[in-house]
Structure 1
C-alpha cells in the first residue's frame, strides 16, 4: 500500500536548498578562525587544531550509511528534523566550551547531525521531483552547497574578527532551517517495509555505485585542503594583509569566492550534463583541481589566488551534481537513503583523509606552497584515467565496428 503523495511547494524547495548549504562546509564554517584557535591553544599541534574541521567529516564517514538506512526505515523527515537540531546545538557549542577536548567532542556530534542532513536532503530531492525537474534541482542543490561555502566561510571569517568563539555562532542558522523543515516538508510516498521485502529483484547496486564513491572520495580529498590549509597559506602571504593583520577575513572572502564559482556551475549544470559525458566532466573536474592547487603553490599575488580558488570551486561545482545524478539514476527508490548514506561516507571520508594525507606531505614539502603544488600534481595525474576512458569511449566502438565488418579470417 502506498501513502498519499506529497507535492513540494516553493517553500519546500527553498528550505531543501537552505539545508543543502550545510552539506559541503557545515563542518568547516569556522575554518577562517583556525589560526586564531591555534593561538588560543598554543600547546596543541596544527594536526589537533585541524581536527576541529575534519572531525565532523570522520563522524559522518562512520555514521552516514547507518543514518541513511535508518531514514529508509523510519522516515526521512524525522531524521532530517532531528539532524538539523543536533547540527544547531552541537555546532554552536564551540562558543561556550572552554577546553579543546570538549570542543572536539562537540565537533564529532556535529558530524552526526550533518550526516543526517546529507542523507535526507538528497533523498528527498529524488523522491519529490522527477525527470528533467529532478536533474535541475540536483544542480540547484550543488549551487546551494557553493552558496553555503560563500555564506558560511565569509560569515565565519567576519565573526572571527570579533573572536574565534564568535565564529561558532554561525551554526544558529539551523534554527531557521529546522522551522522550515517542520512547516514545509512531508514524508514522500514510500513502500512499507514488508512490501519492500517482497521485491527481491531490486537490490542495492553496490558495484555500480563504487566508482562514484571512489571518485567523490578523491575529489573531496583534494578540495578539502582549502578550508584546512588555505588559511595558513594566506596567513604567510604579505599581499593578504590588504585588510589588516588579521587575515581570517581575507581567507574567508577567498573561500567564499570559491563557493560562488561552485554555485554558478551548479545553476548551469543541467546544460553542461546535457552536452558532455560524465567522464568528460570528471576529467575537467580533476584538471581544475590540479591547475588550481598548483596555482596556489606558485601564488605571490591575490590575483593568482583568486584565479586558483575559482578553478577549485568550478571543480567542486562539477563533481557534486555529477555524482548525485549518477546515484539517483541507478538506485531503486527504497534504497535511496542507504545510497545517499554511502555518498555522505565517501564525501566526508575524503575530507577527513585530506588532513591525514597532509601530514607526511607537509613534512617533506616544508612549506604550504610546496604542499599545494604536490597535491595539484596528484590531481593532474588522477585526471589521466578519465581522459583515457574518454578516448576509449570515442574511438574504440568505431574501431571494433570496423573490425567486426571484416571477414572472419581478417579478424584473426
Structure 2
C-alpha cells in the first residue's frame, strides 16, 4: 500500500485533502476486497466445475452466490452503519470476510462451497456498506463524482491483479490455494482500527422514526428506483462475461486458469482507466444519462462480438472495451444516486444501491443459465440485445426529460 506521506495529489487529484489521504487509502483497500469477492473464484471456475462434477445449469451460482447475500444484507449493514458507526460495521465484516472466504478451500461438495460463498457475501456486504458510506461523505458535487470515479478505478485495478494471482496460484498449486487470498481482510481490518476514527456525531447517531420515514420517502422517488434498476441491469450484463466467458474460451481456444485470469484482468483495465479519468468528464460533456447510455452501448457491442473471437489479442481488446463501458456506467449511477440522497440517509441509500447491483449479479445465472445450457454462445447475443435496449431507453429518457435517469449537467 502506498505510504500516505508520499501520496501527493497533482492535477486531477488536487481536491483530495491531506488529512483524508490515509482514510481514503484504507477505504479503497477495503472496497477492493469487495470488488474481488467473485473474481478470485472466476478464473478457477471451469476447474471447480470439473472437480466437483457440478451441473453446468447451476454451476454459475458458485460465482454469483455471494452476491445474493450481499444484496440481502447491504441495506441492513448500511442502515446499521448510519446508526452505530461505520467503523463498528467495517472491522468485524473484514475479519468475517477473511474467515469465510478462506474456508472455501476446504469445501468438497457443491452445497458446502455454496454455503461458504453465501457467508463471504454477507461479510462483503458489511464492508461495502461502510466503505461507500465513508467515501460518499467525504465530498459533494463534482468532487464526489471524481472520487467515485477514482474509487471505481482502484477497485478495477484490484480486479486486474487478483484474477491473475488467482489463476497463477490455481495453475501452480491447485484451485483450493487461491482461496487464501481472502485472508487479506485481516491486515486491512488492523489498518482500519488504527487509522479510522468515528465522528462524534456518528457515535451518537440513532435512526429515529422520522429518519426512517424520510428514508422511505427517498426510496419511493421514481428517479431513485430507476437508478436501482440501472445498477441491477448493469450487473446482470456484467456477470455474463464473468461467468460464461471463461467457459466459452476454455471450449473455444482451450484457455486455462491463467489465460482466463488475464482475459478477465483486461476487462478490469478498461474499467480502471475510464473510471479514473473519463467517467466524470463524460458526465460533464454529455450529461449523466447520455454517458450511461454510451456505457451500455459499449457493453452491447462487445457482448455480441465475443462469440466470433478466437485470436487472443482481439479477445483482450474486446474485454478491455467491455470494461470501459462498465466503468462509465457505475460511477455515474452511484454519483447521481448520492446527489438524490440526503446526507443522513446516504450510507443506507447507497447500500441499497449496492444491494440492487449484487442482486443483479445473483439473478444473472438464474436467468441466463438455461440460455447457456441450451444455446451456448446465444447467451452473449441475448445480453447484447438487452444492453442495446437499455442504451436506447436511457438516451430517449434524457431527450424527453421523462422519468429516466436524472441528468446532472
TM-score under structure 2 length normalisation = 0.87
Selected match of 1:255 from 264, 268, 282: 264
Give CA deviations for 1:349-390 in whole Å, capped at 9, x if unaligned. Answer: 11011111112322442x2x2321221122112211112123
Larger radius of gyration: 1
Selected match of 1:236 from 247, 251, 257: 251
Question: What is the correspondence of 1:45-84 to structure 2 with a 5 Å cutoff?
Answer: 45-84=55-94
Distance 2:301 2:76 in 1: 36
Q: CA deviation at 1:176?
A: 2.3
Q: CA deviation at 1:276?
A: 2.1
Selected match of 1:120 from 115, 127, 130: 130
Selected match of 1:384 from 372, 377, 392: 392
Q: CA deviation at 1:199?
A: 6.9
Selected match of 2:379 from 371, 379, 392: 371
Question: What is the correspondence of 1:8-407 to structure 2 with a 5 Å cutoff?
Answer: 8-42=19-53, 44-161=54-171, 162-188=173-199, 190=201, 192-193=204-205, 202-204=214-216, 205-206=218-219, 207=221, 208-238=223-253, 241=255, 247-268=256-277, 269-365=279-375, 367=376, 369-393=377-401
Q: Does the Cα contact within 8 Å between 2:56 and 2:373 map onto a contact in 1?
A: no
Distance 2:74 2:283 in 1: 27
Q: CA deviation at 1:98?
A: 3.0
Gaps of 5+ in 2: 1-16, 403-409
Distance 1:377 1:212 in 2: 20
- Residue 210 and residue 195 in structure 1: after superposition, are their counterparts in 2 closer, same or farther (change >3 A)? closer
Distance 1:216 1:227 in 2: 16
Q: CA deviation at 1:195?
A: 8.7
- Residue 41 and residue 253 in structure 1: after superposition, are their counterparts in 2 closer, same or farther (change >3 A)? same
Distance 2:34 2:99 in 1: 17
- Residue 198 and residue 360 in structure 1: after superposition, are their counterparts in 2 closer, same or farther (change >3 A)? closer
Distance 2:289 2:159 in 1: 26
Aligned residue number for residue 407 of structure 1: none
Q: CA deviation at 1:26?
A: 1.5
Give CA deviations for 1:23-56 in whole Å, capped at 9, x if unaligned. Answer: 33313311110111112112x2124432221110
Q: Does the Cα contact within 8 Å between 2:280 and 2:332 map onto a contact in 1?
A: no
Paired positions, count: 380
Distance 1:374 1:197 in 2: 44
Distance 2:367 2:311 in 1: 27
Q: CA deviation at 1:197?
A: 5.3
TM-score under structure 1 length normalisation = 0.86
